[in-house]
Structure 1
Amino acid sequence: MKNQKEATPLINPGPENGDANKEVVKASPERWVIVIIMSVVSCMRSFVLAAFGLNNNVMAKYFNVEPWQIDWLSNVRALTMVLFCIPLLFILRRFSVKTSIVAVVGCSATSLTLASLAVSFRQGYFIAILGQVMSAFSTTIRIPLKSAIAAVWFPANEIAYAVGIMFIGRALGKATGAVVASHLGSISDSPSIIRMRLLAVFGSFAIATWTVLVFVVLFIKPRPKHPPSIAQAKVLQLQELQESTSLKEELIQFKNVQLKLLTNVHFLTAWFARITIDSVPRFTTTLLSSILQANFSKKGNTSVDGGFMIMGLCLMSIVGSFSAGPLLSITGRYKASVAVSTGLASVSCVLGIAGLAVTSTSLVYASQILLGLFVGLASVSVTELIVQVTYPTRITDAFVFNVIGVGIMLVVQTTIARLLLEKFGPIAPFTLELFCLLLATCLLPFMKMPFYRQEAAASTTENQ
């Protein structure tokens, strides 16, 4: 890092310097290429996760294991995120956004390669576990990286759109994976047919991801020539004015930031909402096939029904993510957007419970479609809310506890939901999901949130 003498002023407040500020604050067209890369890689990785999760019974038969062991292909990702997020994100905070992008794509490519190897023979379950560990590394870095890319590369009025587009990759991957996976294999198919189909899809994704990695290494810059917004320029100025620190000093700073976040009630409230919202679609993908099998086994192919339900959820989450962009840009109501969308997501859970109670596939379909819409809106909104209440803290620092929280929530929720399903039937897991969403919804209205990033941009505009 540069020392104070070398620092270059990036912000020149005052009307006489308005033109100068316009020249140093400029968006780069390269930003859209980066967003597309992140979305495509996330799409392929999420496809594989959906294929393992939704085809739970088929994968269990193929690998000759129990269904709960297939659940752990998801849970091992969550545990890996919990155990490794702090050292991983601390190391990466010392490097550029490009380095983090390379790490995300590289881990994804390795994960997809291991998944291809795992399905190539019936004893590949533990190789699939290793693939999920690498996928967890990729996800751990990607969770804060979405906001970091948006802040470093995008102007303020495009940040919500950029985050929304990066959510699309995961949603689209789950949507296509959910439907295609239900046709890649069924209980009645021979292992050789399942092997051939899975290997063709996973192998193609692995090759494509390695190709993307080469492109990123060769052509993506560490950061844009000019900061894209006044708020980002201020962050760069603060970083450049700091003295260079040793690894030990930076570790102390990192620890102090985390302790400060743990005493920040605004952050903790937004954090709880974030981990609750993010775990909902993951939990649904993992357990939905078992829930439908328990409740609708006499009504046809539950794997196909589950695939289309997850597809509907994920596609509608794309609509919700895109809706968040103009909504937040126009209103700036981050907290209200999260509270309303989580509240409506809770209503969709009630609809799903009703569908299971009266054995109506149509009602469960409707509940998943509405859940996707409101979860998509809530995911983008709560991500921006966390950035607002922690600015100008490094985004990678602010999202450490998000990674830990999502990992813990996913393991706990999936494990408890599986037990509830076996002991009390298919309605019980949906009730657990409803309880978590209602808890997040009820906490937000009573907390007044400061929007520090928004205030930083507004104060400079007023001074000009």
Structure 2
Amino acid sequence: MDSEKYDLEKNDTINSETEKLTDINNTCSVLIVKSQNNIHRKCEQEYVIKVYQKRWFLLALFIIITALNGIQWVQYSIITNITMRYYGITSRMVDYTSLIYLITYLPLVLPASYFMDKYGMRATLVTASLGNCIGCWFKVLSADPDKFYIGFMGQFVLSCTQLVIISTPSSFAAVWFGANEVSTACALGVFGQQLGMALGFILPPLMIRNHEELDSIGKDFYRFFMLNAIITTVVLVLTIIFCQKQPEYPPSKAQALIREGKAASDNSVMETVKSFKRLLKQKSFLTLLAVFGVTLGVFNSFCTFLNQVILVYFAGGQVFAGQVGLVVTIAGMVGSSIIGYILDKTKKYKITAIIVIIMSTIGLILFMISLRTKSYTLVFAASAFLGLFITTFISVAYEYAVELTYPEPEANTAGLMSAFSTFTGVLGIVLFGDIIEYYGEFLYHVMLCAFMMISVILSFLVSNKLKRQAVIILEKKQYQLSAGSEK
């Protein structure tokens, strides 16, 4: 009798644990087996979980690909005064070289997400490398005062390429890395974007000088563009040789469930559309989406107008502007790596996001104050503080969103986030560009801080229901209970 009572209690415990998943996504119900015996059998017999050493080499290659694209974003705008003088164009045209990165995202985010979801990581990274290579060779041909339009064509190609890059870190991490290192891998993937931004801030001012003669400036442009083109060509070859769609065995049980779901689906365009619709019905995700969009809109505007703002207080300070951008992004790399490790250990996504956004707001206020002191040291210190948090939020938000929306494809979740942040970035650059031109940089900074305060308020409203973690925790409990019943 005692043995039968014990078995009944154990079965009741397993059933109650299984019922906790009923509020996860309807899609998830297809992936998770209802009975305890089926769950145990699937976890133990069908799913072979394995991580591969080559994941670190592929991550390094991924970082290089994203960095090479990130370099291009502010390549012209960080030396706005030189670009205007050499090509004989207005500052607004220079702004468009940054803005094009945002404009192309909006109409192409759906096909890009479908492409990533259907064709996998190899096709995505090869396409990204090819786009980087083509865009950079266009720029080589543009190193002439009358050929700015060719450079803009290259910038357009590169802006389309970033569509299959910017949303990829969370997907890449999930495909190749285990559950206990996926946040770190995602943070390192975002690190590639930040590294590219850092190089984009510092290299153009160092390699393209404001010479008196335009021919000398043209030679600087040519050397810089040629260096980019050669490196992207080499990386394209490496990508074609070494990249693969996915490892033979999934690195985690959560990824195994997603693979099973993809095998059961038709991977059609309509399935991608349905996924987007499901995402847009999740209130907590939409709140995080608003926070991410506002914060990234502020950051995109900050980077685009950094040169113009610095020159207000530091005459001839285009090199200093690049150095400030470098400090912001390097601090972001450090912050992203630290936060990624912390998230892997604690899984405290909500409180981490709130702290990061509050500190970002404080950093922006300190940066505005430091400019008025005209102290190089204080500006560098404020920039480091700002970068340590505001760029870190990117990786935090991507992983947080994947947790909230599991088991929706990571590419769709990240794509929707990037699309909305792109939309807010476009609005921000247009709005703040006019504010700087007509009202000055003080009102510009006040508006940036005001929008960050909105992000702070909204961040408290995001749910802390982590669906991917719920699956992992439940499976562990079910395995422990099933193992106990066999003893």
TM alignment of 1:94-105, pairs within 5 A: 94-105=118-129
Partner of 1:61: 85
Partner of 1:116: 140
Quick one: which amino acid aligns to residue 322 of structure 1?
S
Aligned: 1:251 with 2:274: no
Aligned: 1:289 with 2:313: no
Looking at structure 1, the residues matched to 463 and 107 of structure 2 have their Cα atoms a distance apart, in angstroms, of 32
Change (3 A) 1:400 1:43: closer
Quick one: which amino acid aligns to residue 316 of structure 1?
A
Report deviation, 1:441: 1.4
* Cα shift readout 1:239-265 (whole Å, capped 9, x = no counterpart): 2233x46xxxx3333222222222211
Looking at structure 2, the residues matched to 144 and 176 of structure 1 have their Cα atoms a distance apart, in angstroms, of 20
Change (3 A) 1:35 1:277: farther
Change (3 A) 1:200 1:380: same
Moved more, 154-163 or 399-408: 399-408
Q: Which runs of 5+ in 1 are unaligned?
A: 1-6
SS in 2 for 1:187: coil
- What is the TM-score normalised by the length of structure 2? 0.86
TM alignment of 1:83-162, pairs within 5 A: 83-118=107-142, 120-162=143-185
Change (3 A) 1:256 1:44: closer
Quick one: which amino acid aligns to residue 28 of structure 1?
Y
Partner of 2:263: 240
Quick one: which amino acid aligns to residue 348 of structure 1?
G
- In the alignment, is the contact (CA less than 8 A) between 1:319 and 1:376 conserved in 2? no
Equivalent residue in structure 1 for 2:457, among 428, 442, 461: 442
RMSD over aligned CA atoms reads 2.3
Aligned: 1:432 with 2:455: no
SS in 2 for 1:27: coil
Change (3 A) 1:168 1:389: same
Report deviation, 1:280: 4.0
Partner of 2:221: 198
- In the alignment, is the contact (CA less than 8 A) between 1:13 and 1:460 conserved in 2? no
Moved more, 390-399 or 228-237: 390-399
Quick one: which amino acid aligns to residue 144 of structure 1?
S
Quick one: which amino acid aligns to residue 199 of structure 1?
Y
Partner of 1:39: 63
Equivalent residue in structure 2 for 1:70, among 94, 98, 106: 94
Looking at structure 1, the residues matched to 166 and 73 of structure 2 have their Cα atoms a distance apart, in angstroms, of 16
Aligned: 1:79 with 2:103: yes
Moved more, 331-340 or 276-285: 276-285
* Cα shift readout 1:249-289 (whole Å, capped 9, x = no counterpart): x3333222222222211111111222233344432222111
Moved more, 284-293 or 401-410: 401-410
Partner of 1:376: 391
Structure 1 residue ranges (4+ consecutive) displaced by more than 6 angstroms after TM superposition: 11-19
Report deviation, 1:315: 0.5
* Cα shift readout 1:372-408 (whole Å, capped 9, x = no counterpart): 1002321111110111111100122223322321221
Change (3 A) 1:123 1:13: farther
Report deviation, 1:230: 0.9
Report deviation, 1:454: 1.0
Question: Identity over aligned residues, as a percent?
Answer: 20
Quick one: which amino acid aligns to residue 144 of structure 2?
F
- What is the TM-score normalised by the length of structure 1? 0.90
Report deviation, 1:429: 2.1
Report deviation, 1:304: 1.8
Report deviation, 1:14: 6.4
Moved more, 224-233 or 448-457: 448-457
Looking at structure 2, the residues matched to 345 and 32 of structure 1 have their Cα atoms a distance apart, in angstroms, of 30
Report deviation, 1:105: 1.2
Looking at structure 2, the residues matched to 149 and 315 of structure 1 have their Cα atoms a distance apart, in angstroms, of 22
Partner of 2:22: none
Looking at structure 2, the residues matched to 112 and 432 of structure 1 have their Cα atoms a distance apart, in angstroms, of 35
Partner of 1:355: 370
- In the alignment, is the contact (CA less than 8 A) between 1:50 and 1:178 conserved in 2? yes
Partner of 2:326: 311
Looking at structure 1, the residues matched to 70 and 412 of structure 2 have their Cα atoms a distance apart, in angstroms, of 25
Looking at structure 2, the residues matched to 216 and 185 of structure 1 have their Cα atoms a distance apart, in angstroms, of 29
Change (3 A) 1:390 1:281: same
Report deviation, 1:71: 0.5
Aligned: 1:220 with 2:238: no
Partner of 2:49: 25
Equivalent residue in structure 2 for 1:262, among 255, 280, 284: 280
Max radius of gyration: which structure? 2
* Cα shift readout 1:94-138 (whole Å, capped 9, x = no counterpart): 2121111111111111111112222x2112221122112111222
Report deviation, 1:174: 2.4
Number of residue equivalences: 446
- In the alignment, is the contact (CA less than 8 A) between 2:186 and 2:395 conserved in 1? yes
Moved more, 105-114 or 315-324: 105-114
